Structure 1
Amino acid sequence: MSIRTFDAFSRLSINDINRITNFLFEYSGKFRDSKSAIKKSILYAAKEISGLGGYVFVKEEKSEILGAIVVNRTGMNEYIPENILVYIAVKEAERGKGIGNELIKHTKKYCRGDIAIHINTDNPAIKLFEKEGFKARNIEMRLTR
């Protein structure tokens, strides 16, 4: 079981994009966004839509996705982190086996610069991120239009 890394240079197929979108939608739990939003973040990471790109990390075993992370690059630094971890999910039956931890370690190793994540305060994954060195720093306030 290895982690597959996708970016602007190692393209995702349409089939992979749809598989990862469906996986993240299914296993993101009550905090999930729409399939359209998830797919857009993957397309941005793969530079299939305009932007700076990013990374998609997928843990698979025998063509079955066990966990996935989507990171988008911001193009900023010092005042906003260079990377934002947009989505992370681990298959429910695989939780507690270290897959999320392994994906985060891979993300930290692969991405240059700071990494931010927006996470709901009720999400139990907060402990996983704290164990990997993430610290609560700001709250997000959003004007939704």
Structure 2
Amino acid sequence: MTIKTFDAFSRLSIIDINRITNFLFEYSGESRDTKSAIRKSILYAAKEIPGLGGYVFVMEHQNAILGAIVVNRTGMNEYIPENILVYLAVKTEFREKGIGKALIKHTKKYCNGDISIHVNKDNPVIKLFEKQGFKSRNIEMRLVRN
């Protein structure tokens, strides 16, 4: 199993963008965003749309995606972390086998600066992040305008 790293310098093909989008959509859990939102975060990370970019980390085995993380750079520090981990997903049959842990460790090693993540307060994945050093700090409140 290998972790592939994609950013502004190691471009993602349209096929890879679609594969990762579909994977994240299928395996991202209860707080599933639209495919459009997931794709946009990947395009932002790869600097295919204007922004600061970020990273896409994909763990594969025999050309099958087992897990993926999308991190977007914020361009800020101190008051807002430099990076936001937007998506983490692991294929259902590979959960609790160390793939999420390996992806988070790779993310921590690769990304400079602080990393934040938004997690539903009832999501059991919180324990995985706590074991990797993440601490609950703030409550997000959001005004959604349609």
Q: Secondary structure at the match of 1:24?
A: helix
- Where structure 1 has 5 or more consecutive residues not aligned to the other structure, the ranges are none
Question: Residue deviations 1:20-53, cap 9 Å, x none?
Answer: 0000000012111000000000000000000000
For structure 2, the residue ranges without an aligned partner over 5 or more in a row are none
Distance 1:43 1:124 in 2: 28
Distance apart, 1:15 and its partner CA: 0.2
Give the structure-1-normalised TM-score: 0.99
The percent identity for this pair of structures is 81
- What amino acid maps onto 2:105 in structure 1? K
Q: Is residue 2:10 matched to residue 1:10? A: yes
CA distance in 2, matches of 1:59, 1:137: 29
1:24 pairs with 2:16: no
1:96 aligns with 2:96: yes
CA RMSD across the alignment: 0.4
The equivalent residue for 1:133 is: 133
The residue aligned with 1:115 is 115
Q: What displacement does 1:122 show?
A: 1.1
Superposed, which structure 2 residues align to 1:70-89 within 5 Å? 70-89=70-89
Code of the aligned partner of 2:78: E
**How many positions carry a matched residue from both structures?**
145
The reply on whether 1:142 has 2:142 as its aligned counterpart is: yes
**Counterpart mapping for 1:22-61 below 5 A:** 22-61=22-61
For residues 30 and 104 of structure 2, the distance between their equivalents in structure 1, rounded to whole angstroms, comes to 21
Structure-2-length-normalised TM-score: 0.99
Residue identity opposite 1:97 in structure 2: K
The aligned amino acid for 1:93 is E
For residues 46 and 36 of structure 1, what CA distance do their matches in structure 2 show?
15
